[in-house]
């Protein structure tokens, strides 16, 4: 993996070294990065300068929240209970990069000069601009760690008596890819979605990349379904009767996955009569550490649910958490 360091770069900091800094954006949008109370990082708006720390390629903020790239939009924000995403580095001139790429994007949230930060442009937003992020020379040459070595697939874990709470208050993983498939259009690949869409003909598939650090721990697959009134940045529509059937797939999905080429169901976890205001532990067992695992949610009966997958308060959707 390249870190954007030239041959004359200073010696790398030890991987366990933690160094703290502020971030300034330049380019199509400029200014100091501040934070909303929920950890969203923002340019403009008069927010005070936020402080971040990098260690082993992962960034946390001054409140100890792990900084991540929210799927599927890749928004850069820091969330309570989130495992900080690795892959960040700072070169000898103080430029921040992710996976060796120093190009970030700022997309407006209003008409008053406030921007959220992303690693890729947000689909459908025509006003996103290219930016660079600088620490002003602080923490230069703090490297990202190499990716974990791949491991042989572990046997499918069986459900155990112990399970995590039905929440994401500890370490958890969000889906890195959501792809709907439709039995009425079996050959159509819909690509990446921001939504969980579940009905009598439409299923949603979810990829999770489980860190190697979860090895030896117990994990639970949880589905969170708050009341509409509890949601701040998400919403859902619900109709019909029936429930959600949860399954593990035999392999991960991709943006080209359709109903006809979707991986087969490896394990069926049964049907949940999902109702707003409830959270559900779908499965518990040994964490599939170091693996990409996929799950499918399908509707039974006339049940129909469409929601925006989001872990801003209150979180809604499918997550994998470590006990």
Asked if residues 208 and 263 have their Cβ atoms less than 8 Å apart, the reply is: no
DSSP 3-state of 120:
coil
Q: Which residue carries 């002003």 as its tokens?
A: 136
Nearest-CA neighbor of 297 among 279, 270, 260? 270
pLDDT at 152: 32
Rg (the chain; Cα; Å): 20
User: Measured between alpha carbons, how far is 220 from 150 in angstroms, rounded to an integer?
Assistant: 22
Residue 39, Ramachandran bin (φ over 0: left; ψ between -120 and 50: alpha; else beta): left
Asked if residues 85 and 138 have their Cβ atoms less than 8 Å apart, the reply is: no
Backbone angles phi, psi at 67, to 5 degrees: -90, 135
Residues in the chain: 323
pLDDT at 38: 87
pLDDT at 247: 96
Domain 172-322 has CATH 2.60.40: no
What single string gives the DSSP state of each residue in 277-303? TEEEEEEEEE--TT-EEEEEEEEEET-
Non-local (6+) Cβ contacts of 123 within 8 A are: none
Nearest-CA neighbor of 286 among 208, 240, 194, 217? 217
Asked if residues 213 and 149 have their Cβ atoms less than 8 Å apart, the reply is: no
At 200, list the tokens: 């009598």
Q: Which residue carries 């996929």 as its tokens?
A: 294
At 218, list the tokens: 């117990």
Q: Which residue carries 């379904």 as its tokens?
A: 225
Question: How is domain 19-134 classified at the CATH fold level?
Answer: Trefoil (Acidic Fibroblast Growth Factor, subunit A) (2.80.10)
DSSP 3-state of 64:
coil
**pLDDT tens for each residue of 231-250:** 988 899 999 999 999 999 99
pLDDT in tens, the chain (323 residues): 333 323 323 333 333 346 889 999 999 899 999 999 888 999 998 888 999 999 888 999 988 899 999 888 899 999 988 888 988 988 888 899 998 889 999 999 888 889 999 999 888 888 999 999 998 888 875 444 444 433 333 333 333 335 788 999 889 999 999 999 999 999 999 999 989 999 999 999 999 999 999 999 999 999 999 999 999 888 999 999 999 999 999 999 999 999 999 999 999 999 999 999 999 999 999 999 999 999 999 999 999 999 999 988 899 999 999 98
**pLDDT tens for each residue of 153-181:** 333 333 333 578 899 988 999 999 999 99
At 59, list the tokens: 């960034």
CA 68 to each of CA 72, 80, 157: distance values in angstroms, whole numbers, following the listed order: 12, 11, 27
Q: Looking at the whole model, is its pTM more than 0.85?
A: no
Non-local (6+) Cβ contacts of 225 within 8 A are: 274, 275, 276, 277, 278, 279, 280, 316
User: Measured between alpha carbons, how far is 217 from 78 in angstroms, rounded to an integer?
Assistant: 24
Non-local (6+) Cβ contacts of 13 within 8 A are: 19, 139, 141, 142, 143
User: Measured between alpha carbons, how far is 86 from 74 in angstroms, rounded to an integer?
Assistant: 14
pLDDT at 159: 37
Q: Give ranges for CATH 2.80.10 in the chain.
A: 19-134
Nearest-CA neighbor of 53 among 28, 29, 88, 4? 88
Q: Give ranges for CATH 2.60.120 in the chain.
A: 172-322
DSSP 3-state of 230:
helix
pLDDT at 143: 43
């Amino acid at each position: 993996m390249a870190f954007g360091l030239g041959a004359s770069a200073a010696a790398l900091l030890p991987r366990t070294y933690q160094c703290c800094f502020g971030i300034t954006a330049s380019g199509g949008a400029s200014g100091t990065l501040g934070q909303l109370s929920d950890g969203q990082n923002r340019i403009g708006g008069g927010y005070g300068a936020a402080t971040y720390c990098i260690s082993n390629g992962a960034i946390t903020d001054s409140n100890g929240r792990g900084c991540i790239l929210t799927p599927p939009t890749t928004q850069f924000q820091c969330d309570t209970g989130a495992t900080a995403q690795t892959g960040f580095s700072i070169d000898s001139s103080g430029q921040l990069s992710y996976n060796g790429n120093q190009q970030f994007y700022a997309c407006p949230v209003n008409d008053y000069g406030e921007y959220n930060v992303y690693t890729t442009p947000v689909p459908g937003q025509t006003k996103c601009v290219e930016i660079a992020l600088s620490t002003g020379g602080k923490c230069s040459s703090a490297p990202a760690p190499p990716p974990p070595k791949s491991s042989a697939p572990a046997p499918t874990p069986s459900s155990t008596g112990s399970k995590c709470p039905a929440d994401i208050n500890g370490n958890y993983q969000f889906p890195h890819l959501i792809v709907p498939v439709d039995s009425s259009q079996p050959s159509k690949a819909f690509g990446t979605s921001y939504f969980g869409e579940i009905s009598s003909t439409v299923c949603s598939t979810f990829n999770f990349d489980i860190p190697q650090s979860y090895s030896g721990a117990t994990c639970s697959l949880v589905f969170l379904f708050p009341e509409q009134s509890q949601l701040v940045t998400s919403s859902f529509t619900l109709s019909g009767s029936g429930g959600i059937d949860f399954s593990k797939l035999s392999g991960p999905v991709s943006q080209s996955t359709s109903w006809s080429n979707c991986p087969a169901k490896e394990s069926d976890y049964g049907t949940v009569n999902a109702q707003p205001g409830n959270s559900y532990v779908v499965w518990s067992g040994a964490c599939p550490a170091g693996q990409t695992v996929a799950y499918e949610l399908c509707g039974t009966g006339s049940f129909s649910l469409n929601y925006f997958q989001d872990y801003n308060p209150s979180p809604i959707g499918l997550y994998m958490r470590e006990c």
